[in-house]
A and B are shown apart, each in its own frame.
Chain A
Amino acid sequence: MSEAVPIQDPIRLHKALDAVWRTPPGVGRLSAVNHTIVGRRFIVTAFVFFGIGGLLAMLIRAQLATPRGVFLGPEIYNQVFTMHGTVMMFLFAIPLIEGVTFYLLPKMLGARDMAFPRLSAYGYWCYLFGGAILIVGMVLGVAPNAGWFMYTPLTSRPFTPGINSDLWLIGVTFVEISALSAAVEIIVSVLKLRAPGMSLDKMPLFAWYMLVTAFMMLFGFPPLIVGSVLLEVERAFGLPFFDPNRGGDPILWQHLFWLFGHPEVYIIFLPAAGVVSTILPVFARREIIGYLAIVVSIVALAFLSFGLWVHHMFTVGIPHLALAFFSAASTAVAIPTAVQIFAWIGTLFAGRPQLRLPMLYILGFFFIFVTGGLTGVMVAIVPFNWQVHDTHFVVAHLHYVLVGGFVFPMLAATHYWLPHFTGRVPRVSLGVAAFWLIFVGFNLTFLIMHATGLLGMTRRIYTYDPANGWEWLNLVSSIGSFVMAIGLALFTVDVALQIRFGRRPGRNPWRAGTLEWATGTPPPSYNFASIPVVDTRSPLKQSTGLAVALAQGRGYLGFVRDGRLETLGVEVTSGQVEQVVRLPGPTYLPLVSAVATAVFFLAVLFQVYVVAVIGFVATIGTLLLWTRGHGDHADRGAMPIGHGKYVPSHGESGSSPSQWAMWIALFGDATAFGSLAFGSLYLAIVAPNWPPPQLAQWNLLLSGSAAAGLVLAAIAAGRSVSPTVLPHAAKRKRWLFVTAGAHSMALAALVGMAFGVPAPTEHAYGAAALVVLCYVALHVALGAVFALYGLWRSRRGFVSLVRSSDLMIGRAWHAFTAAIGVVTLLLLHAMSWTASP
């Protein structure tokens, strides 16, 4: 293996690596998949959306500055606050987190890229296109107008007949593809793509934060997506999931939305807290206190935040006992949050803190976020909640949490990491002035809003009467918001000046300990010329010469092999090297797939369903194309990685990132299925106007064949990867054929069952049964495709006893499909049983 000889000369090593890792210029940039570039795109786009959302906020405040304002009419006002909330939550906060994570995570973990670079690129395009749909709708004056949580029945067809609500449901769902794909990718990257030796307890805290956050995204977004699909189906085809006259229930929407919506708040807060836990110790000039306590508290926080959703529904009429459960859980989250705050304060006290600009923002964060937390505990108490529900008190609370807990840390992050992005530090800084304008402006705007809320000013009203006594309060609040806007403008100018005219400081200007500062700044396409061994939580503190040693190729993989992009994969907990992960280079495929996906979503929006089917098939087809040219035709065995070590390629490791990704993705899928099942049962048990006029007469022959097909497919797929079958192409072929055949049988039976569902537009019973059947049928159809795909991979020589990854992934899918299929059949029978009088 002569090509695996380490290159000791930094310049030659740089050239060799850059030649395979770099993104082509010009139009070629559309083919970028590199995490630094994609991360940067997410960040810049998110800040553009922040600007749009901010502009909308200014419109709101301009309208509310005086009583009987005539600046915006009621319809426009509705669109403006809805879009403000939607843009801020879905197009600014979450994507900004994704961008920061994509950019930083591999560098902090000592890897050369994320585990699935093309997936991040695909996610970016979905985000951009989905966001564009919403913005175009707004420019055309048909933006969503029913509030960012889209309550039914207001958003149902009879009350919002226009396209407004459809834009939200389809645009946001499109954007959420990027959140789900990011979740899977972040989890796998943290678990598998770390520097050798970095055991879980040596990970930088930011990685723990993002690992937990990504799991929350994985479990939090599916209920929203399921809810959105159900509502869109109701609007488009009249299936009455949320219509109480026909056995639906508008409260079901609230459950599905807030099952997502409350965790969402912590999905936004945790990464920001991760930023604080990363930056604060650098300026306290000591290691963070309470690493274990912080890890424990973020895991606790993540779980607790899934037990709170009903606190948004305290006023819908819920029994006292249930209120008490959710009130208790809501107050409990304050504790893990407080643990982190005490760890930060303790670190500051134990260290020798420096008040640099990022630190100023962190102090601002402390002040504002703690205030928001206190009002949070107040609204968690049921009687108080009843008083202030839907008033500006809540608006004030949510901005204290979101702006304090997210925007301030992100502004700190901008100042802290900008030198990493650009290789420049500021010459003159307007930053302090900007900070004070933002801080004072913010408090002026929102502190006062608590008062207007307590005085009875409800949210989402476009005008008010001078007799209410809210006049000067609102005026001051509006003035405050303009002060804040000026501060943010100054901040932008400051950043632009630094990018353009900043000084070049050399590596690691803040003397930080985490690995991202071991790369060049701005970072080269491959991050690390060679990969470090890590045995401490702050590797750069431990060895100050590390960056230079890595540039000289003295770590692992300090060479280019076969012109491939390589990084290292590790065992999940111990961080021992396990595999060489070969990553894809620049390609247009993610863009092509995203365009196909856009065709699907636009066709659904405009109700041309034939085109939608084409778009869907094209999406799946182009996604499968991604694997072309990947994999090996023969077993290669262990490969040298430097320092006399040998490990297999990921395809032969038996624990490839793609296998992990499939397992993780199926957790998300299971959550979606669970939400659907929950919804059906909820309607059957709680909704008014049950039992339905007509129940399905399930044909036992059909449900029996469906069950048999499902189980057979799973068993055959299991056989196809057994050690006795795997080495023999003919045997593999046979079992994969059986898998595909069994799926076809199950599909036929499920379609037959769907015909037995009583008129789905007449009652939610039929609607729910039909949708659950479709969900399973889709999985079965895809299962058949995947089985045939496995067959093709097997025929082309990509499969062997050790190269079984393709088939293992398929097997996971088939097993999962069988599981949800069988549960569905039981559920359908159970629903007939509970619904029968």
Chain B
Amino acid sequence: MTSKQQGFLFMALGFGIWIAGFSLLYAVQATGCEFAWQQVRLLGSISSLHAALYGLFAAHMAGLLWLLAHCRRKLATTENGTSDAFLWRASACLTLAAIAALVWIGMALPLPSVCR
């Protein structure tokens, strides 16, 4: 992989993180319900299942934020109008869209009926 091809690869990375986060949220929710993690309470009211889901959300969000910063840094150091600049700009936009998409599904997380 040459540095040239990096921008192209990064176009897939933002939503790659999104789909990983999405699948994991669903998988952990289903698995947790199967093993009744929602009944294990942490910190008073938060169940361990909910905590795991928030943790997953935060981890993927952190990854996406780092990625956004990285793409913007790269974009700033790439000459305008080149194909590299195009790819980094596309990557940055896609990462931003992935962040929005993660927030959008994350809004469901506070729902109390995790397993019903």
A: residues with CB less than 8 A from B are 199-202, 292-293, 295-296, 299-300, 302-304, 306-307, 310, 319-322, 324-325, 328-329, 332, 336, 571-575, 685-686
B29 at the interface (CB under 8 A from A): yes
Complex interface: chain A residues within 8 A of B109 (CB): 321
Inter-chain contact B4/A307, CB cutoff 8 Å: no
Inter-chain contact B4/A574, CB cutoff 8 Å: yes
Distance in angstroms from A553 CB to nearest chain B CB is 28
B65 at the interface (CB under 8 A from A): no
Inter-chain contact A571/B4, CB cutoff 8 Å: yes
Q: Given that A295-B90, A325-B25 are known contacts, is A573 also in contact with B33, CB under 8 Å in the complex?
A: no
In whole angstroms, how far apart are the Cα atoms of A324 and B31 in the complex? 17
From DSSP, what is the main secondary structure of chain A's interface residues?
helix
Closest B residue to A215 using CB positions: B12
In whole angstroms, how far apart are the Cα atoms of A236 and B2 in the complex? 49
B36 at the interface (CB under 8 A from A): no
Inter-chain contact B105/A325, CB cutoff 8 Å: yes
Inter-chain contact B34/A320, CB cutoff 8 Å: no
Closest A residue to B109 using CB positions: A321
B: residues with CB less than 8 A from A are 2, 4-5, 7-8, 11-12, 15-16, 18-19, 22-23, 25-26, 29-31, 33-34, 83-84, 86-87, 89-90, 93-94, 97-98, 101, 104-105, 107-109, 111, 113-116
Task: Identify which of B7, B16, B26, B87 contacts A322 (C-beta below 8 A).
Answer: B26
Q: Given that A306-B19, A685-B30, A685-B34 are known contacts, is A200 also in contact with B86, CB under 8 Å in the complex?
A: yes
Distance in angstroms from B111 CB to nearest chain A CB is 5
Task: Identify which of B83, B98, B108 contacts A199 (C-beta below 8 A).
Answer: B83
Inter-chain contact B15/A303, CB cutoff 8 Å: yes
Q: How many A-B residue contacts, CB cutoff 8 Å?
A: 106
Complex interface: chain B residues within 8 A of A336 (CB): 97
In whole angstroms, how far apart are the Cα atoms of A324 and B107 in the complex? 9
Closest A residue to B110 using CB positions: A321
Inter-chain contact B33/A319, CB cutoff 8 Å: yes
Complex interface: chain A residues within 8 A of B15 (CB): 299-300, 302-304
In whole angstroms, how far apart are the Cα atoms of A304 and B12 in the complex? 12
Complex interface: chain B residues within 8 A of A332 (CB): 101, 104-105
Complex interface: chain A residues within 8 A of B22 (CB): 307, 325, 329
Inter-chain contact A303/B30, CB cutoff 8 Å: no
Inter-chain contact A325/B26, CB cutoff 8 Å: yes
Task: Identify which of A200, A201, A296 contacts B97 (C-beta below 8 A).
Answer: A296
Distance in angstroms from A827 CB to nearest chain B CB is 15
Distance in angstroms from B8 CB to nearest chain A CB is 5
Closest B residue to A324 using CB positions: B108
Closest B residue to A320 using CB positions: B113
Task: Identify which of B16, B86, B108, B115 contacts A325 (C-beta below 8 A).
Answer: B108
Complex interface: chain A residues within 8 A of B104 (CB): 328-329, 332
In whole angstroms, how far apart are the Cα atoms of A200 and B10 in the complex? 14
Q: Given that A329-B105, A572-B5, A686-B34 are known contacts, is A201 also in contact with B83, CB under 8 Å in the complex?
A: yes
In whole angstroms, how far apart are the Cα atoms of A361 and B57 in the complex? 44
Complex interface: chain B residues within 8 A of A573 (CB): 4-5, 7-8, 83-84, 87
Q: Given that A296-B93, A319-B113, A573-B7 are known contacts, is A202 also in contact with B107, CB under 8 Å in the complex?
A: no
Q: Given that A295-B90, A320-B111, A329-B105 are known contacts, is A686 also in contact with B30, CB under 8 Å in the complex?
A: yes
| Chain A to chain B contacts (Cβ below 8 Å), 13 pairs | A200-B83, A292-B86, A296-B90, A299-B90, A303-B16, A319-B113, A320-B111, A328-B108, A329-B105, A332-B101, A573-B5, A573-B83, A686-B34
In whole angstroms, how far apart are the Cα atoms of A762 and B75 in the complex? 58
Besides A307-B105, A321-B29, 12 new A-B residue pairs in contact (Cβ under 8 A), listed by A number: A299-B11, A299-B12, A319-B116, A320-B113, A321-B113, A325-B26, A329-B22, A329-B101, A329-B104, A329-B105, A573-B87, A574-B4
Among the interface residues A302, A320, A332, A573, which one has the most CB atoms of the partner chain B within 10 A? A573
